[in-house]
Structure 1
């Protein structure tokens, strides 16, 4: 007897359970990423308020305009470095969360693929004579879908690596520019 409906029903139920588990895992990872982001923003805001308060006290204590401008200029580089640090921490949180999503998706795809191949193998054992062409077409379609997913995954990873590389290059250029600006401001204030 051909038990395709029962096999399909079992496979569908298993697939839905896997998708629910993945959705739960992704939701959890999303909340973890958001929690890290909120913690970063709160600590950055606290540090900014404390720094602004200390800077304001220093500026208010300046004896003359030259000292005022010298103190103002001396804040440029530390502020730029703080902004760069925030950017790096933000990029790390985003990259970590993205990596978790990628791992979950790859795991889910691998599991579903294994189950589909198992179902196709089981169904083809009981396939009527003359259906070899259809079975072959189905297996080819599954193989093509796997190849497409692998190419998509590879391209996505390359895009993430390129984005991280560009971010690191931008951080490096910004840091260098802020150091030069800070040095120029300090020399102008000293003059």
Structure 2
């Protein structure tokens, strides 16, 4: 059903295990970084909603226009500082994520490289063996094509030649003292 062998060689298995462990650790690190980024975004949105609600409440409860303007201006400064702190948190999270990914890569690169090298060596060895086997089969096929009767050993060829010459002698070849008739039969000469 499948054109490939069902057995998996040890080199393939160890390389796949190393690659799987590397990908698992990388995805774990990426998802942790993504989770931290989502938490930071949720926290920012909650803070901004609270600030907006407080500013809206102050504006609605203000009696004069100057109080409305001062309430809006007093909320602008803390919001700017919060956005600046958010930007710093994002930069820190990005740096932490980069450090974590570098650590995971460094941790797995030696194992993955070693298993990849072993797999490449095994593939090269197997390919070399298959190439040699194919060359031998090609040479055998070519030899059979060049000399189709060489399938047996030398004794078979000698027997075939001996049978061929005996068959030729008995198959109507004129021998001394015999006369060949036009119909292929032989008549012996008699001395009168």
TM-score scaled to structure 1, two decimals? 0.52
Q: Partner of 1:30 in structure 2?
A: 30
2:15–2:116 CA contact under 8 A, matched in 1 = no
Q: Deviation at 1:114?
A: 4.6
Q: Partner of 2:106 in structure 1?
A: 106
Q: Compare relative contact order (CA 8 Å, sep 6+) and give the higher one, 1 or 2.
A: 1
Give CA deviations for 1:68-111 in whole Å, capped at 9, x if unaligned: 21222222211111101111222222222222111111222222
CA RMSD between the two structures: 2.7
Closer/same/farther in 2, CA of residues 19 and 11 from structure 1, 3 Å limit: same
Q: Does 1:70 align with 2:70?
A: yes
How many residues end up aligned between the 2 structures? 115
Bigger share in helix:
1
2:26–2:104 CA contact under 8 A, matched in 1 = yes
Q: Partner of 1:80 in structure 2?
A: 80
Aligned counterparts of 1:64 and 1:113: Cα–Cα separation in 2: 72
Q: Partner of 1:17 in structure 2?
A: 17
Give CA deviations for 1:108-138 in whole Å, capped at 9, x if unaligned: 22223455678999xxxxxxxxxxxxxxxxx
The 3-state SS of whatever aligns with 1:63 is coil
Aligned counterparts of 1:28 and 1:119: Cα–Cα separation in 2: 26
Unaligned 5+ segments in structure 1 are 1-8, 122-191
Segments of 4+ in structure 1 off by > 6 A?
Answer: 116-121
TM-score scaled to structure 2, two decimals? 0.51
Aligned counterparts of 2:79 and 2:73: Cα–Cα separation in 1: 10
2:62–2:68 CA contact under 8 A, matched in 1 = yes
Larger radius of gyration: 2
Give CA deviations for 1:38-79 in whole Å, capped at 9, x if unaligned: 222222222211111111111122222222212222222111
Aligned counterparts of 1:44 and 1:84: Cα–Cα separation in 2: 11
Q: Partner of 1:44 in structure 2?
A: 44
2:18–2:115 CA contact under 8 A, matched in 1 = no
The 3-state SS of whatever aligns with 1:94 is helix
Q: Partner of 1:178 in structure 2?
A: none
Unaligned 5+ segments in structure 2 are 1-8, 122-192
Q: Does 1:55 align with 2:55?
A: yes
